[in-house]
Amino acid sequence: MKIAVISGASSGMGREFVYALDKQTKYDEIWVIARRRDRLEALAEKTRAKIRPVPMDLTDVKSIENFAELLKTEKPEIQTLVNASGYGKFESFENIDLKDDYGMIDLNCKAYVGMTKVCLPYIVSGGEIYQLDSLSAFQPVPYINVYGATKAFVLSFSRALNVELKKKNIKVMAVCPGWVKTEFFDRAVTNDSVITYYNRYFTPEEVVERALKDMKKGKDVCVPGASVRFQVFLTKILPHKLVMKIWCKQQKK
């Protein structure tokens, strides 16, 4: 049974990956993961492949252990893995509740490692792993402090893993967009602590389209949008102290 496994599939980038991958590749089933079963079941209305909802909370290690048991029972051939779950809190560090700091680390880092680890034995030669990352991965970001640090982890983890898995003919790519207007921001931004420049945002469709193209090119990092790529270039040549100073000036801090 040839499948794709997509976490964070109930909305935003994860949902768009479901639709785009279903159009690009013929799967027997697409296993979709998120907490909301009804949203997962609704995906079947727009896909060719059979949708298998796997509702679970990826911040709970037990859920990933249960998913590992499901894989052991079904023994599928995983062609594509997409880790697209995640959440953020944009606020000064001292004002963010500790449970949210832990939550970001659990969902943005531990869940990615856990899902990749348990799925890897079933990923076939020629398989692909997409790790949803962020522009925040390339620099320290005040007022998006812990979230940015989790995304730096994802970038390093993904690029190193891509090298390790070359011998298995499995590609890993970190997808690092700038602002993408999704439900993510309903939770991340609850006040004016961070100014999000939505006049420069991309749609989930644009980001996923670019990600699929860059994976075919064998890239280990996808940065959608010329303006975002220019920002990444600047973070490589400018001192991070200056980059953070510019960011804080934009944020009127």
| Tokens coding 149 | 């640090």
DSSP annotation of 180 reads: B
Answer for the pair 51, 154: CB distance below 8 angstroms, yes or no.
Answer: no
Q: How confident is the model at residue 192 (pLDDT cuts 50, 70, 90)?
A: low
Q: Return the bridge partners of 100, or none.
A: none
The residue ranking higher by pLDDT, 75 or 197, is 75
| 231: enclosing H helix or E strand | helix 226-237
Q: How do residues 107-160 score in pLDDT, each as one tens digit?
A: 999 999 999 999 999 999 999 999 999 999 999 999 989 999 999 999 999 999
> 3-class SS at 21?
helix
Q: How confident is the model at residue 196 (pLDDT cuts 50, 70, 90)?
A: low
| Predicted pLDDT of residue 198 | 47
Answer for the pair 49, 29: CB distance below 8 angstroms, yes or no.
Answer: yes
Q: How do residues 38-50 score in pLDDT, each as one tens digit?
A: 999 999 999 999 9
Q: How confident is the model at residue 70 (pLDDT cuts 50, 70, 90)?
A: very high
Give the separation between CA 169 and CA 152, rounded to whole angstroms: 25
| Tokens coding 46 | 């727009």
| Predicted pLDDT of residue 202 | 84
What does the pLDDT average to over 43-62? 95
| Tokens coding 245 | 């100073």
Give the separation between CA 75 and CA 116, rounded to whole angstroms: 15
Q: Return the bridge partners of 109, or none.
A: none
| Predicted pLDDT of residue 158 | 98
